[in-house]
Amino acid sequence: MHDHSSLAPDAARLPLLGCITVGLGTAVAMWFVGYLTHMPGVRLPLAMTAGLMTGVQLAGGVIAGRSISPGVAGGAIAGLVSSLINLLIIGSIVASPDQPDAVRENWWMMVAGTLAFGPIVGALGAFIGTRMPVAGAGTQRWLARLAVVTAISALPVLLSGGIVTSAEAGKAVPDWPGSYGYPMFLFPLQHMTGGIYYEHAHRLFGSLAGFCTIVLTVSVLVKEPRKWVKLAAVIALLVVITQGVAGGMRVNKAEVAPVDINTAVEEGITIDENREIDTKPAVAWAIFHGVSGQLTFAYLCVVASFLSPRWIAGAAKRPDSLMRTFAMLALGAYLLQLFLGAGLRHTGHAAFQHSHVTLSIVVVVLSLLAGLRARARHADVRPMKFFGTLMAHGVGVQFVIGFIALVVVLPHKDDPTHIPSLIIATTHQFLGALLIAATCIVFAWTTRLVEKGAVEPAAAAAA
Ligand code: HEM
Ligand code: HEM
- For the stretch 336-354, pLDDT in tens is 999 999 999 999 899 999 9
Question: On the CB side of 79, how many CA atoms lie within 13 Å of its CA?
Answer: 31
CA 308–ligand 1 middle distance (angstroms): 29
Ligand 2 proximity of 434 Cβ (cutoff 6 Å): no
CA-254 nearest atom, ligand 1:
41
Ligand 1 proximity of 66 Cβ (cutoff 6 Å): no
Question: If you take atom 11 of ligand 1, which residue's CA is the nearest one?
Answer: 161
Please confirm whether the linkage preceding 97 is cis (ω < 30° from 0).
no
Ligand 2 proximity of 217 Cβ (cutoff 6 Å): no
CB distance 341 to 430 below 8 Å? no
pLDDT, position 96? 81
CA 341–ligand 2 middle distance (angstroms): 5
pLDDT digits (tens, 9 = 90+) for 374-432: 999 999 899 999 999 999 999 999 999 999 999 999 998 878 888 999 999 999 999 99
Instruction: Taking the CA atoms of 208, 214, 220 and 222 in sequence, report the sign of the dihedral they define.
Output: negative
Ligand 1 proximity of 416 Cβ (cutoff 6 Å): no
Which amino acid is located at 246 in the chain?
A
CA 248–ligand 1 middle distance (angstroms): 8
- If you average pLDDT over residues 196-225, what whole number do you get? 96
CA-432 nearest atom, ligand 2:
10
CA 338–ligand 2 middle distance (angstroms): 7
CB distance 341 to 401 below 8 Å? no
CA 132–ligand 2 middle distance (angstroms): 44
pLDDT, position 267? 61
Closest CA to 189 of 295, 77, 46: 46
Local confidence band at 170 (pLDDT 50, 70, 90 cut-offs)? confident
Ligand 1 proximity of 171 Cβ (cutoff 6 Å): no
Return left, alpha or beta for 449; rule: phi > 0 is left, psi -120 to 50 is alpha, else beta. beta
Residue 332 CA to chain centroid, in angstroms? 22
Q: Which residues of 86-106 are buried (b: 16+ CB within 10 A; e: fewer)?
A: bebbbbbbbbebeebeebeee
For β-strands 449-450 and 315-316, DSSP reports them as: parallel
DSSP 9-60: PP-SS--HHHHHHHHHHHHHHHHHHHHHHTSTTT---HHHHHHHHHHHHHHH
Ligand 2 proximity of 406 Cβ (cutoff 6 Å): yes
pLDDT digits (tens, 9 = 90+) for 384-393: 999 999 999 9
In the three-class reduction of DSSP (H, G, I as helix; E, B as strand; rest coil), residue 187 is classed as coil
- The ligand placed nearest to the CA atom of residue 292 is 1
CA 269–ligand 2 middle distance (angstroms): 28
Instruction: Taking the CA atoms of 72, 77, 81 and 87 in sequence, report the sign of the dihedral they define.
Output: positive
Question: If you take atom 28 of ligand 1, which residue's CA is the nearest one?
Answer: 247
Question: If you take atom 14 of ligand 1, which residue's CA is the nearest one?
Answer: 290
- Name the DSSP letter for residue 250: H
CB distance 294 to 162 below 8 Å? no
Question: On the CB side of 373, how many CA atoms lie within 13 Å of its CA?
Answer: 20
CA 428–ligand 2 middle distance (angstroms): 6
CA 346–ligand 1 middle distance (angstroms): 12
Question: What is the rounded CA–CA span in Å between residue 103 and residue 169?
Answer: 27
Between the two ends of the chain, the Cα-to-Cα distance in Å is: 17
- pLDDT higher than 60, residue 3: no
- pLDDT higher than 60, residue 68: yes
Question: If you take atom 31 of ligand 1, which residue's CA is the nearest one?
Answer: 247
Residue count of the chain: 463
CA-413 nearest atom, ligand 2:
40
CA 162–ligand 1 middle distance (angstroms): 8
Kindly report the backbone phi and psi dihedral angles of residue 189, in degrees, each rounded to the nearest multiple of 5, phi listed first. Answer: -60, -35
Which amino acid is located at 60 in the chain?
G
In the three-class reduction of DSSP (H, G, I as helix; E, B as strand; rest coil), residue 342 is classed as helix
Ligand 1 proximity of 293 Cβ (cutoff 6 Å): yes
CA 426–ligand 1 middle distance (angstroms): 13
Ligand 1 proximity of 428 Cβ (cutoff 6 Å): no
What residues contact 127, with CB distance under 8 A and at least 6 apart? Answer: 61, 65, 71, 72, 75
Ligand 1 proximity of 58 Cβ (cutoff 6 Å): no
What residues contact 194, with CB distance under 8 A and at least 6 apart? Answer: 40, 169, 172, 268, 269, 270, 271
Residue predicted with more confidence, 437 or 258: 437
Question: What is the rounded CA–CA span in Å between residue 223 and residue 226?
Answer: 9
- pLDDT higher than 50, residue 8: no
pLDDT, position 215? 98
pLDDT digits (tens, 9 = 90+) for 283-318: 899 999 999 999 999 999 999 999 999 999 887 777
CA 402–ligand 2 middle distance (angstroms): 5
pLDDT, position 33? 97
pLDDT digits (tens, 9 = 90+) for 185-203: 999 988 898 889 999 999 9
Question: What is the rounded CA–CA span in Å between residue 186 and residue 194?
Answer: 18
Least confident of 50-59, 181-190, 200-209, 264-273: 264-273
Ligand 1 proximity of 286 Cβ (cutoff 6 Å): yes
Ligand 1 proximity of 203 Cβ (cutoff 6 Å): yes
Question: What is the rounded CA–CA span in Å between residue 5 and residue 455?
Answer: 15
What residues contact 346, with CB distance under 8 A and at least 6 apart? Answer: 165, 283, 286, 287, 290
Ligand 1 proximity of 200 Cβ (cutoff 6 Å): no
